[in-house]
Structure formats: structure tokens, C-alpha cells
């Protein structure tokens, strides 16, 4: 969907929105405007992610795509 179409779609939602939806949209926009600088992960999670990235970098061909994973269950 093109940006102009997305803007029109969002505008349509805003025009028809009740107060509850407008408050949710406002909260979403405010969160977005604050940026990602407030987002932090714990050192434990960072270690897990770093380990997974290292495993991938050592052997990128060992990954499975989502279809293969679903079939193995």
C-alpha cells in the first residue's frame, strides 16, 4: 500500500473514531514520537541475542524458513 493510501486510510479511521480509539491513536503517536531511545533490553536478553547472532554468522545455512519449521511440528 502506498504512503498516500495509508494516510487516507488512517484519516478515514480518525474521522469515524470514537473517543476511545482517538485516545489509543494519540498514545501510539506519542510513543512513536518518543523514539526508540527509551527502549532497552536486559543484559541477559542481549547475551542471548548476541549468541544467536554469532551462531548465525558462523553457519548461516543452518537456518530453517518458517514453512519448514511448521512442517516439523
Q: Could you tell me if 50 and 29 lie in one domain? A: no
Contact predicate 43/50, CB 8 Å: no
Report long-range pairs for 28-31 (Cβ below 8 Å, ≥24 apart).
none
Q: Could you tell me if 64 and 51 lie in one domain? A: yes
Q: Could you tell me if 7 and 34 lie in one domain? A: yes
- Give the global pTM: 0.42
Count: domains in the chain: 2
pLDDT tens by residue, 30-46: 888 777 655 678 899 99
Domain, as residue range, for 11: 3-38
25: its cell numbers: 491513536
Contact predicate 50/61, CB 8 Å: no
For the chain, the C-alpha Rg in angstroms (whole number) is: 20
Q: Could you tell me if 7 and 33 lie in one domain? A: yes
Q: Could you tell me if 34 and 8 lie in one domain? A: yes
Residue 72, pLDDT > 70, answer yes
Amino acid at each position: 500500500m502506498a504512503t498516500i493510501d495509508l494516510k487516507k486510510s488512517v484519516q478515514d479511521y480518525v474521522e469515524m473514531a470514537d473517543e476511545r480509539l482517538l485516545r489509543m491513536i494519540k498514545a501510539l503517536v506519542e510513543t512513536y514520537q518518543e523514539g526508540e531511545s527509551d527502549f532497552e533490553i536486559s543484559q541477559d536478553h542481549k547475551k542471548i541475542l548476541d549468541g544467536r547472532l554469532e551462531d548465525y554468522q558462523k553457519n548461516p545455512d543452518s537456518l530453517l524458513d518458517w514453512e519448514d519449521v511448521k512442517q516439523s511440528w
